[in-house]
Chain A
């Protein structure tokens, strides 16, 4: 297990380095410079040159990359002129907000999707299954932007019981202190996830309910409730575990549309605005964070899989 972990961490490191190299190259291939985008059309050539010099953009890209990695190893992700903030500050300001929203919506999605998936499986091809499937497909097919807008119109304007914007604080405590503000963005973000997760749980449960071990359990006289909840559900959750692992990057990268719609400046907005304004330090900083989250997420998913599925453990031991 330790050897496996070391190998995977080594692979992860290679992936992260490659991602930073590719991101660095792409940013430097973009037409137009960061200087003009940052300083605006009024900047003089001297000011543009001074900016490029200060930021190191007038050096060969390999040298720039070397300097970037050197600073990165010291925990310095650079300085954003656009925000007048260090990248670390900018990220640490938004990350808690993004994580609160993502975690709440994920928990809500799981708590709702698992029972819905189970209901669909045990009542498959009957009206509860049809109803939930139809609603899931509707939720899945509706653009999240439209969904959010409908939520705002219905619950903030037609029946003004909820605020149209998310909490405006920046610390976790400030965000949680305004639970009403969290309701609409959380539900909007969760709805699509519920639809996806419940479909996965349903199909995994349906497959498992036809397995021999279920038949054996039933023939041993176990109650249907015990068969479903103790034996089948555990196996039915494998796909959700895999999805959750891959969801880790989303926890860090934010949800651009929901953030934009509900005035919730999180990681998604940070990255989007940086892309529009060619804020290279922010783009690189967020890319590094998300690439780390992605490889860690994949690793966590594998480890969780191994923890719940003995077959996976056996395969790894054999290999």
Chain B
């Protein structure tokens, strides 16, 4: 039936629809590009950086707030006593230009370090003195349980005496003789002068005093400062945070939003900022970031692994694409305490066989598109490079040798089937202590979601292992660390076999790459509960012996003993920045960003 609805009314309806669509378009064209105006095209005195919103400002970090963005943000506002560079040119890796003090002078057989401050001032003009460092120490000592960096036996427990000589000089006497390089790089790196003349009080209205000089007072001051740090919406307005020692000051802070740093005009360091403003823009995810990067609306961002093929496009848009190598290692954690499979992981030959089934060079080249490199041991390869040469690894990819090793230890290898223990016992040709006859090699890997390369990497490893009858089940979860805790065999949470959390590197070291936090018995990040007295001895030597070969001995031993399975070490990120932006390189292997070095050509 032909409709009798008049054409005029129809045209009206169409007009309404068109008007709305057109209106939206006109708004678009008329409004201009809102985000573009803050982006890279805005002028030569500002840089817009893709950056997660930092959410901690106090230089004493609280547990849960140790993320990289907080460290970079913190350094921008409050310089550490020492900053480091790994190019091998400086004593104890101390960066002489950026550090606030001269390198320590060691005396008393290595127990006392005397430190002299350089001439530095707070942004309000007051000089940075030993009082400011003592203030930091008083707060940390009285509140060590609330300090994220505290480890029993570490700072401040390992300090026997803290003496202030004058405004410029203080000395630290340790409880034992430590390896100075370790102590300077991994302990003194935590010290950050804090403005005692502005912060030593327990309320916003109280007058500044010497309150923190007593433990009770230090607790009150710490609580006051922590409460202020837990109120991010006041970061850019609270008077506390307006006294800085760093090259930047906080111009604008939106919790979980954009943060603007402005050059600190009263900065006393030699590395003065060359730009007026740094805009730190957070993104909801990789896709959002990459879309904006492609559109040219940010000056510095990153190329998500899934988009590495678009490197050419970015270069055509005048971006420099540069991998950021970390001072890191990547590994697959084994749970030695798993009541079922732990006994298997305790067999060195089995760990060696598993390691020989991981083709690190090929995975690095093909799956990670060359942005990863083999990890051979616990100490990272030369900083600023893409890691080790697989030829130097103790166990290179060798399926034939892996098979031979299993068979020579009493296993019946069934390619593409199920390999089982045929010869139980503790003899040299038997499966090993605690391994029952018929035991199969079935393991579950708890891996990370959201990383295509990681998924492909484990598919490859699974395939290689299946060829020797070792069955891997890959389970991806958003946060593999959360579900694979260090545990005792009786714990309900101890059922995990292998855990991977290294899609952006498993572990980033401070300047001295010792393993006391990773592989020592009972260490906090020894999630797999690896324990070897020889390894403990070598790790201790890295901390306490001045012998420069201690680190190498430790590395060589663990490279062979396999406390974990060494995996391809991906770059921290593939950065993309406008070609006109100078000073970005070299990207710091310890993941700091020194915005003050950046400038436009």
Contact = CB atoms under 8 A, between A and B. Distances in A.
Contacts of A140: none
Contacts of A180: 27-34
B284 A183 contact: no
A44 interface: yes
Contacts of B16: 111-112, 115
B524 A44 contact: yes
B6 A164 contact: no
A89 B292 CA distance: 28
Interface residues of B, number: 76
Contact of B6 (A83, A187, A225): A225
Contact of A47 (B8, B67, B148): B148
A224 B4 contact: yes
B3 interface: yes
A40 interface: yes
B510 to A, nearest CB: 12
A223 B481 contact: no
A278 B482 CA distance: 9
A241 B97 CA distance: 68
A20 interface: no
Most A Cβ at <10 Å: residue of B16, B34, B485, B486: B34
B232 interface: yes
Given A38-B64, A170-B254, A164 B297 contact: yes
Given A152-B291, A168-B35, A44 B27 contact: no
A204 interface: no
A204 to B, nearest CB: 16
Contact of A85 (B145, B256, B258, B285): B256
Contacts of B96: none
A83 B35 contact: no
Contacts of B150: 44
Given A229-B9, A263-B289, A40 B64 contact: yes
A137 B10 CA distance: 22
B35 A178 contact: yes
Interface string A101-112: 000000010011
Contacts of A111: 16-17, 20
B287 interface: yes
A264 interface: yes
B172 to A, nearest CB: 23
A178 B31 contact: yes
A51 B486 CA distance: 17
Nearest to B294: A157
A251 B24 CA distance: 20
Given A165-B291, A179-B28, A278-B482, A84 B10 contact: no
A144 interface: no
Nearest to B39: A163
Interface string B438-452: 000000000000000
A265 interface: yes
- A contact face: mostly helix, strand, loop, or mixed: helix
A104 to B, nearest CB: 9
A179 B556 CA distance: 61
Contacts of A228: 5, 9
B404 interface: no
B483 interface: yes
Nearest to B34: A178
A50 B146 CA distance: 9
Given A83-B55, A83-B255, A263 B288 contact: yes
A93 B255 contact: yes
A276 B258 contact: no
B136 to A, nearest CB: 20
Contacts, number: 216
B63 A39 contact: yes
A150 to B, nearest CB: 11
B283 A179 contact: no
A217 B506 CA distance: 75
B485 A32 contact: yes
Contacts of B297: 163-165
B549 to A, nearest CB: 28
Query: Which of B4, B36, B63, B294 has the most CB atoms of chain A within a 10 A radius of its CB?
Result: B63
Contacts of A165: 35, 288, 291-292, 297
B306 interface: no
A263 B289 CA distance: 8
B501 interface: yes
Contacts of B32: 180
Interface in A73-123: 81-85, 89-90, 93, 108, 111-112, 115-116, 118-119, 122-123
Most chain B beta-carbon neighbours within 10 Å: one of A84, A161, A265: A84
B397 to A, nearest CB: 28
A306 B496 CA distance: 56
B295 A164 contact: yes
B10 A119 contact: yes
Nearest to B450: A276
A50 B145 contact: yes
A262 interface: yes
Interface in B457-503: 477-479, 481-486, 493, 501
B527 interface: yes
Interface in B63-85: 63-67
B420 to A, nearest CB: 29
A59 B479 CA distance: 24
B55 A84 contact: yes
Nearest to A259: B284
Given A116-B17, A156-B295, A40 B481 contact: yes
Interface string B210-232: 00000000000000000001101
Interface in A140-187: 149, 152, 155-157, 160-165, 167-170, 177-183, 186-187
Contacts of A218: 4
Contacts of B152: 44, 46
A265 B17 CA distance: 29
B524 A43 contact: yes
Specify which of A41, A124, A225, A229 lies most central, judged by the most chain B CB atoms within 10 Å of its CB.
A41
Given A81-B64, A224-B4, A224-B5, A261 B288 contact: yes
B28 A269 contact: no
A277 interface: yes
Contact of A112 (B21, B151, B291, B482): B21
Nearest to A264: B284
17 contacts: A32-B482, A41-B525, A42-B517, A50-B145, A82-B64, A84-B255, A108-B20, A160-B33, A167-B34, A169-B257, A177-B34, A224-B9, A260-B285, A263-B289, A264-B284, A276-B479, A277-B479
Interface of A: 31-34, 36-47, 50-51, 81-85, 89-90, 93, 108, 111-112, 115-116, 118-119, 122-124, 149, 152, 155-157, 160-165, 167-170, 177-183, 186-187, 218, 223-225, 228-229, 259-265, 269, 275-278
Given A116-B17, A156-B295, 15 more contacts: A43-B524, A44-B524, A50-B145, A81-B64, A83-B255, A85-B55, A111-B20, A112-B17, A115-B14, A164-B35, A164-B297, A180-B32, A181-B33, A225-B9, A259-B284
